[in-house]
Amino acid sequence: MTCCLVAHLEAFSYAGKRLGLDDARGTLFYHYAILLQKLQPKTFLFENVRGLISHDRGRTYQTILDIFKDEGYTVKTEIMNAWEYGVAQKRERLIMIGIRNDLVDEIQIDSPTPHEYKPVLRDILEDVPRSIGTQYSEHKRKIFELVPPGGYWRDIPVDIAKEYMKSCWYMEGGRTGILRRLSLDEPALTVLTSPSQKQTDRCHPLEARPFTVRENARVQCFPDDWEFSGSVGQQYKQVGNAVPVNFAYEVARKIYEGLEQM
């Protein structure tokens, strides 16, 4: 079995022109598809962000699906939330599992069964080893001290929120990611590659700071002795781009069980 994970959404220059594999040329997915073409594994796993389905009005997803079909695979697509599989994080992902057409009557790959208990941050943030991490500016830190756990910009004085949000104040929608402070009694929001962007804040529940690299790694289910490398920014990116370990295990286990039926 060849099992590959791809985590970046890339636009296809020719998406929608029905050029087959040439639609994907110049993208990371092109190399994925070439490996699939050459190796012809019994099954494959393709993982990406949920937004892939609607990207470029659905043309990117359709191009990927057409290429998989052209290479001789029957594909099942499902949106899955890592929170249902032992991960203390709301992280929706697109999971595509392909079975080679000559084996579709021999292999059945079921979806993993959601866990009865869904973990929250309180379950995984105890005794996290110290590690590198970024800090908020002094100005931003003082504002976050006003935000209660589980709260966001609506939970602080209007004049302070308006000054902080600037043009975002006039945007439509709830803007619930701005000045968002997590709670120990809820799961984390999706771990990102950068810890302190204004519209996607994820402040620590107990301290006015972003999560450290190791705290984000805990949320992603990495063991504490797993080593990341490079600068602090590169390490945040490695953690944020990863598939949560517990979630990946549950999906991989079902693929293994399907192959064992042969």
How far apart CA 84 and CA 244 sit, in angstroms, is: 12
Residue 114 CA to its chain's centroid (Å): 18
Domain boundaries, the chain: 20-117+244-260, 121-241
**Alpha-carbon distances of 167 from 155, 157, 198, rounded to whole Å:** 19, 17, 12
Fold of 20-117+244-260: Rossmann fold (3.40.50)
Distance in angstroms between the alpha carbons of the first and the last residue of the chain: 12
Fold of 121-241: DNA Methylase; Chain A, domain 2 (3.90.120)
pTM (global) more than 0.85: yes
Contacting residues for 252 by C-beta, under 8 A, at least 6 apart: 3, 45
Q: Are 158 and 248 in contact (CB under 8 A)?
A: no
Per-residue pLDDT of the chain (262 residues; tens, 9 = 90+): 444 433 344 444 444 454 556 656 667 888 889 999 999 999 999 999 899 899 888 888 998 999 999 999 999 999 999 999 999 999 999 999 999 999 999 999 999 999 999 999 999 999 999 999 999 999 999 999 999 999 999 999 999 999 999 998 998 888 888 999 999 999 999 999 998 887 889 999 999 999 999 999 999 999 999 999 999 999 999 999 999 999 999 999 999 999 998 8
